[in-house]
Amino acid sequence: MTQDELKQTAARTAFEYVESLLEKDTVIGVGTGSTANLFIAELGKIQHKVYATVASSEESARRLKELNIPVLDLNSAGTLRVYVDGADEANEHLQLIKGGGAALTREKIIAAASEEFVCIADESKMVSVLGKFPLPVEVIPMARSYVARKIVKLGGDPVYREGCVTDNGNNILDIYNLKILDPRKLETQLNQITGVVCNGLFAERGANRLLLGTSAGIKTYLP
């Protein structure tokens, strides 16, 4: 199976799981990126059953609205029953790196506001140690250089993502050459740097369920 087919399998499995949870007023959190887009397409097949969603990016909100699926602001939605999104890397502890699509802050907020976070990915995203994928950090523009200097002291090589402005109006630094042996510790260290809005480590709030598309079928990881 191709990588796209593995993603599709994971998205379809997540859709079937979420459909089983639906009640008349269930609000679904929806992520951002190529795998999340496949999940959105699946949701479109039952749009008449979907009470409402909350999207982690303007792009995902646009896709949902094109399918006539209602999109709410998180402030009016309350606690979400389930949030479905992809990942750039995942480990067996269901800790993730996210933010390749620059939506990490809103993704982390929605994950925190959800009862359950279902992560969908293909098998290439599973790693034993996080960090091969550059770790995104969203920063206030005026703090970009200051934050980069602090990141160097933590052992990373930050690179400014040229031409990228987040939905929140901020910049992204991608941290290369990290071997993240203690994801929770690094997540906290990065959050404590003045000027950092959010970082792409989902360790404190990792996934509750990881659906991994593999050549042998779907592999489900639970905490």
Contacts of 104 (CB under 8 A, 6+ apart): 98, 136, 138, 198, 199, 200
**In whole angstroms, what is the distance from residue 158 CA to residue 151 CA?**
7
Which are the catalytic amino acids?
107
**In whole angstroms, what is the distance from residue 55 CA to residue 47 CA?**
15
Q: Where are the beta strands (DSSP E) in 93-214?
A: 96-97, 117-122, 135-139, 157-160, 171-176, 196-199, 201-202, 209-214
Alpha carbon 49 to chain centroid, angstroms: 24
Distances in Å between the Cα of 185 and the Cα atoms of 45, 80, 180 are 41, 27, 9
In this structure, the number of other CB atoms found within 10 A of the CB of residue 214 comes to: 15
**In whole angstroms, what is the distance from residue 33 CA to residue 57 CA?**
9
Amino acid in position 111: A
Give just the sign of the alpha carbon dihedral 157, 163, 164, 165: positive
